[in-house]
Amino acid sequence: MKRLLALIVLLATPLARAEPQAWEGWIVGEPCAAALQVADCPLRFVDRPVLLLEDGRKLAFLSGEGGAVTPADVDKVYAKKVRMTGEAKDGVLQPVKLDQLETSGERKFFKGCL
């Protein structure tokens, strides 16, 4: 009877799901990540994006149409600081959310010199 009760309790409790982790870094091309280059990373490397972390590690991630991170998202945040939330499996990040942390430096005209 105790085994049956334990089995019922075990089946009735929801399975604990691991919370997705969050990583902060810059989305750059793989060659730029190898050189730790963020600011001047050419757009020709956008077809091989990775997440370059602050400690110099790089994480490959899944991107594509129909996924959480689309090629348009990568274009929008290329060489900008982002937070990517997801799960790492076999060394590849499977993102569920992408947040842009850094905006483009807008240049404003300063009239003080006129």
The residue ranking higher by pLDDT, 114 or 77, is 77
Mean pLDDT of 10-19: 51
Rg (CA), the chain: 21
Are 68 and 95 contacting, i.e. CB atoms less than 8 angstroms apart?
Answer: yes
- Number of helices (H) and strands (E) in the chain: give both, helices first: 3, 5
Q: How confident is the model at residue 34 (pLDDT cuts 50, 70, 90)?
A: very high
On the question of pLDDT at 63 being above 60, the answer is yes
**Count of domains forming the chain:** 1
pTM of the model: 0.73
State pLDDT tens for residues 86-104.
999 998 999 999 999 987 6
Q: Is residue 75 part of a domain?
A: yes
Mean pLDDT of 76-87: 94
Q: Is residue 105 part of a domain?
A: no
User: What's the pLDDT at 65?
Assistant: 85
Mean pLDDT of 43-55: 93
Q: Is residue 31 part of a domain?
A: yes
Place of tokens 């490959």: 60
Task: Give the domain range for residue 67.
Answer: 22-100
Q: Is residue 106 part of a domain?
A: no
User: What's the pLDDT at 103?
Assistant: 78
Q: Is residue 4 part of a domain?
A: no
Give the span between the Cα atoms of 96 and 22, in whole angstroms: 10
